[in-house]
Chain A
Amino acid sequence: MPTISLPSVLTPLASGEHTLSASGSTVGQAIDDISRRFPALSPRLRDENGEPYPFVTIYLNDEDIRFIGGFNAPVQPTDELSVVPAVAGG
C-alpha cells in the first residue's frame, strides 16, 4: 500500500499523522482515498475542479507528478507520495 507524507501544516487535518497509508493504483485514487478518510484534507489537496493547486506539489518518490501524468500516474504498493507546499526556493 503506498504511503502519503504530509507537511506539518496539514497534519492537524489528518488526526496528527505525518504519514498515511493509502489505497489506489493511481496518484489520484490514493489522494481520493485519504480525502474520504479525512474530509478536511480534501480541499487542501485538490481545487474545486479536482485539479492540483499551483501552490502544492505532489511527488511520487522523487518525481514531480506533473512530469509523469499528474493524478493519472500509476503507483505501486511500495511507492511514497509526498505533499510539499511549492512556495519555496529561488
Chain B
Amino acid sequence: MTTAIRPTRALAALPLRCASCGRDHEAAPAHICPSCLGPLEPVYDADRELPDRAEIAARPRSLWRYREWLPFTGRPERCLNAGWTPLIDAPRLASALGVSRCLVKHDAGSFPSLSFKDRVVASAFNAAHAFGLTVVGCASTGNLANAVAAAAAREGFQAWIFIPHDLEPAKVAASAIFGPRLVRVRGTYDDVNRLCAQVADRFGWGIVNVNLRAYYGEGSKTAAFEIAEQLGWRLPDAVVAPMAGGSLVTKLSKGFGEFLSARLVHGVTPRLYGAQAEGCAPIVRLVERGDDTIVPVKPATIAKSLAIGNPADGRTASHAIRSSGGWAAAVNDLEIVEGIRLLAETTGIFGETAAGVTVAAARALARAGRLTPDDEVVLCITGNGLKTIDAVSDSLAIPEPIAARLSEVAALVSQTTQT
C-alpha cells in the first residue's frame, strides 16, 4: 500500500541537499541521499526577504512567526498554534545552581501535547500537507507519539504510531486517546526506529522522523528563535538541553546562528551544553572523547524519552556543542529524580524525566565550573512531568489521610513547628 503524492499546492516544501556529499535533490518525502546515503537538509534561498524584529513581533504568537526560517515557501496551513512557549525567570533555581540568572524554556506546557515535539510535528505536518500525504506516523519514545497523534486528530490525518512496548503508561494513554493506529513493538526505541525506516520505505507514509525528517527537524530551531526574542532580541551565555537523538542541540545551534546571520541579534552563539542519562549517554561520551564516531549503547535509564542508543544526530550535536565552547554531562537515575524535584521546588514547573536530566546536568556542570557564577543560563525543559509520574512517586512523602477535624490539622501544624 502506498500513498500517492499529488502536485504541491500553495504551500511548497523546499528542495533538499545532502549534508555529506553536497548533491542537490528535489523536494520530496525523503531523508537520505541516493548517492551516498547521507542526511538531507532543506536548502533555503539565501536571497529570500527576511522580516525585521518589528515585523516578527507583530505576527501571531506561534512558531510560524519565524516562517522564513522554516523549510517552506507559501503560508503554512497545518498546526498553526504550535510554539511560543514561555521563557520563565527562575531566580531560586539560579541560586541553587550558582549562576547569575536562570531561565526555563517551558516546553512542558507546549500546545497541544505538552512537549517540544509539537514544534517538529508542526513542521513535519506542513511537509506532509505539501506533498499531499494523508497518512503520517513516527517512531517514538513517547512525546513524539503524543504530538503526532494529537496533531493527526486535529488536522484529519491517519496516524500510525510506533512505540517501544515498555513506555510509561501515561505516554501510551496520551497517544491512544487521540485514536491513532498505535503499534507497541517488543524492543527498544532503536528497534522501533529501524522498523519505521523500513515502514517508510515500504508503505510511503509520512513518517515524521524518518522520511519527513529533513523538514521535521527544522521545527526545533524555533526554540532558539523564541529564546532570543523573549530575552529582548539578545542571546544568553549558555543553554542546557537534553539529548536523545541529538537533533535539538544541533538545531538550537543552527537557529542561533541564523538569527545572528540575519542581524536580529548580535554577539556569539551561546555555549551549548548537552544532557543525557548515564544509562544512555553515547553523545556525552562522544563529546568527551572528541572524535567523530558514535559508539551505540543499549539504553538502561528511567529517562525513557532520552533512551536512544544509536543517535542519528549524535555527531552533529557533538560538533555543535564543542564548537560553541560548551560541554556535555551525564547523570544517574537518582540525580534525575533529584533534578525533577529541584526544578519543581524552585520554579513550580513539573518536568518529565528529561527535565530531571537537564537540571541535574546543569547542576553537575556548574559544580565542575563549566557554568560560572556570571552566566545567564537557559534550561530547555522539553516535556511534562505528568507523563512520567512513576519516576518520582516513590521519592515523595504522600501523607496518610486525616479526619475532617480541626484538631487533627492543629496536630499537624504542631508537628511542623517542632520540625
A residues neighboring B (CB under 8 Å) = 7-10, 44, 53-57, 59, 62, 64, 66-67, 82, 84-90
A55 and B308 within 8 A (CB):
no
19 sample A-B contacts, Cβ–Cβ < 8 Å, listed by A number: A9-B32, A9-B37, A54-B292, A54-B293, A55-B37, A57-B194, A62-B191, A82-B198, A85-B197, A87-B31, A87-B38, A88-B210, A89-B189, A89-B190, A89-B193, A89-B245, A89-B308, A89-B310, A90-B246
B residues neighboring A (CB under 8 Å) = 20, 30-32, 34, 36-39, 139, 187, 189-191, 193-194, 196-198, 200-201, 207, 209-210, 213, 244-247, 292-296, 298, 308, 310-313, 315
Please report the number of residue pairs spanning A and B whose Cβ atoms sit closer than 8 angstroms.
88
Instruction: Describe B's contact surface by its main secondary structure.
Output: loop
Since A55-B32, A88-B207, A89-B310 are in contact, a sample of 10 more A-B pairs with Cβ atoms closer than 8 Å, ordered by chain A residue number, is A9-B30, A55-B37, A57-B310, A82-B194, A87-B31, A87-B312, A88-B31, A89-B139, A90-B244, A90-B245
Chain B residues, Cβ within 8 Å of A82: 194, 198
Instruction: Name the residue of chain A whose CB is nearest to the CB of B309.
Output: A64
Chain B residues, Cβ within 8 Å of A89: 139, 189-190, 193, 196, 209-210, 245, 308, 310-312
A84 and B31 within 8 A (CB):
no
Q: In the bound complex, how far is the Cα of B246 from the Cα of A40, in angstroms?
A: 32
Q: Which has the most chain B C-beta neighbours within 10 Å: A7, A66, A87?
A: A87
Q: In the bound complex, how far is the Cα of B163 from the Cα of A5, in angstroms?
A: 23
Chain B residues, Cβ within 8 Å of A8: 201
B209 and A88 within 8 A (CB):
yes
Chain B nearest Cβ from A24, distance in angstroms = 22
Chain B residues, Cβ within 8 Å of A87: 31-32, 37-39, 213, 312
Chain B residues, Cβ within 8 Å of A7: 32, 197-198, 201
Q: In the bound complex, how far is the Cα of B66 from the Cα of A42, in angstroms?
A: 43
Among B200, B244, B295, B312, point to the contact of A86 (Cβ < 8 A).
B312
B37 and A53 within 8 A (CB):
yes
A54 and B315 within 8 A (CB):
yes
Chain A nearest Cβ from B73, distance in angstroms = 24
Instruction: Name the residue of chain B whose CB is nearest to the CB of A11.
Output: B201
Chain B nearest Cβ from A89, distance in angstroms = 4
Chain B residues, Cβ within 8 Å of A85: 31-32, 37, 197
A54 and B294 within 8 A (CB):
yes
**Nearest 4 pairs of A and B residues by beta carbon:** A90-B245, A89-B193, A87-B39, A85-B32
Instruction: Name the residue of chain A whose CB is nearest to the CB of B187.
Output: A62
Q: In the bound complex, how far is the Cα of B200 from the Cα of A7, in angstroms?
A: 10
A55 and B31 within 8 A (CB):
no
Chain A residues, Cβ within 8 Å of B213: 87-88
Q: In the bound complex, how far is the Cα of B295 from the Cα of A67, in angstroms?
A: 10
Chain B residues, Cβ within 8 Å of A53: 36-37
Q: In the bound complex, how far is the Cα of B127 from the Cα of A90, in angstroms?
A: 18
Q: Which has the most chain B C-beta neighbours within 10 Å: A8, A57, A88, A89?
A: A89
Chain A residues, Cβ within 8 Å of B194: 57, 59, 82, 84
A90 and B308 within 8 A (CB):
yes
Chain B residues, Cβ within 8 Å of A66: 295-296
Chain A residues, Cβ within 8 Å of B31: 85, 87-88
Q: In the bound complex, how far is the Cα of B140 from the Cα of A88, in angstroms?
A: 11
Chain A nearest Cβ from B179, distance in angstroms = 24
Q: Which has the most chain B C-beta neighbours within 10 Å: A53, A57, A85?
A: A85
Chain B residues, Cβ within 8 Å of A64: 190, 296, 310
Chain A residues, Cβ within 8 Å of B189: 89
Chain A nearest Cβ from B354, distance in angstroms = 13
Instruction: Given A54-B315, A66-B296, A88-B197, check contact A44 B209 (CB 8 Å).
Output: no
